[in-house]
Amino acid sequence: MASDTELILNKLATIPDVGSKLGVFVRMEGVLAVVNVGDRAVTLPCTGFYPPVEGMSVQLERRNGALIVTGPAAQLAPLGVIKAGGSPKCTVLVSGIEHMLGYRDGYVPAIGDDVEINWATGIIQGKVTSVPVTVMPTENQSAAPVAFGNLLVMAAQSGSFNGRWWTNDVYNGDNNTGAWFYSSRVADALRGATVTKVEIFLNPRQASGNSPQIGTHPSGSMGGNVAVSGQIALEPRSGWVQIPLAWVAALMAGGGIGVTRSGYTIWRGTGSDALSGALRFTGTR
């Protein structure tokens, strides 16, 4: 005969280990989704759901100890308006937010078209002949913006240039230009958002000399040396450090963050610290 303890354990074993939380989809890496959850980015499988649209709030479920992406955090309107053409994707406005979506073969997007969207696949199905007024809000009628904080965008690359890119760490001093690169990650994460604060995460190996000069550069990935502009003196040199809001435009245009030759500070690069150069955004969407 089973003991009371065994009966309780057996009962607990029948209760599914399920929980849920929200995140923001950033991009796909292979078959896995990169999702911002709180102040960290995590890589998760998408179960029963086509990869989400960049910047979309998504529902996460914990099943038997593992998190998965199950779909949008809120039901999305199935109708939108074409704002700009393109191939293989076009820009469509849905409830006041712009999305880049693919479309079915045979449909040619035209600006102003009312279209139907299948959010399970992220594909525009085609033009519709009529739109219920209650379903399709205009930009002025769209829902009030929702505040967000701790939206994290990880750096794609980091390094230091002194005739060539010679290390993953980020140096300022000794004739080096240090830089972090983000590819299109910032634009992907901030689509439809208004930013009110931006911070960068810094983890120095050493910090000495004058305050580093930090600014933006226009490159999305490593090529030749980068041109850093709009520099300001950087203090403090570690942890989450607020940077000018005016830099967001350059970052959304595919640029990055750079440091020039002043003082002597070495920050760990993305190879030794995944949060190196990570950007944290606060705002509304």
Which has the higher per-residue pLDDT, 65 or 1? 65
Name the region of 70 (left: φ>0; alpha: ψ -120 to 50; beta: rest): alpha
Phi, psi of 13 (to 5 degrees): -65, -20
Give the C-alpha separation, 57 to 281, whole Å.
15
Give the C-alpha separation, 32 to 54, whole Å.
13
Give the C-alpha separation, 143 to 125, whole Å.
24
CA distances (Å), origin 238, targets 201, 207, 218: 7, 9, 24
Q: pTM score, two decimals?
A: 0.58
Instruction: Give the per-residue pLDDT at 213.
Output: 94
User: Do residues 191 and 203 lie in contact, with contact meaning Cβ atoms separated by under 8 Å?
Assistant: no
- DSSP assignment of 54-104 equals TT-EEEEEEETTEEEEEEESSPPPSEEEEEE--SSEEEEEETTEEEEEEE-
Within the chain, how many helices (H) and strands (E) appear?
3, 23
HSE-CB for 242 with a 13 A CA cutoff: 7
For the stretch 150-204, pLDDT in tens is: 788 889 899 999 999 999 999 998 789 999 999 888 887 887 889 999 999 999 9
Amino acid found at 200:
I
Q: What residues does 140 pair with on adjacent strands?
A: none
Instruction: Give the per-residue pLDDT at 48.
Output: 60
Q: What residues does 82 pair with on adjacent strands?
A: 92
CA distances (Å), origin 35, targets 109, 120, 145, 183, 188: 30, 18, 21, 17, 12
User: Do residues 39 and 149 lie in contact, with contact meaning Cβ atoms separated by under 8 Å?
Assistant: no
Q: Please state the rounded mean pLDDT for residues 115-122.
A: 86
Structure tokens at 237: 């040199």
Q: Is the pLDDT of residue 218 over 70?
A: yes
For the stretch 71-115, pLDDT in tens is: 777 777 889 999 988 888 898 988 777 778 899 999 999 999 999
Give the C-alpha separation, 123 to 118, whole Å.
6
Domains and CATH numbers, the chain: 17-72 (2.40.50.140), 79-127 (2.40.50), 147-284 (no CATH)
Instruction: Give the per-residue pLDDT at 38.
Output: 62
User: Do residues 232 and 214 lie in contact, with contact meaning Cβ atoms separated by under 8 Å?
Assistant: yes
User: Do residues 55 and 79 lie in contact, with contact meaning Cβ atoms separated by under 8 Å?
Assistant: no
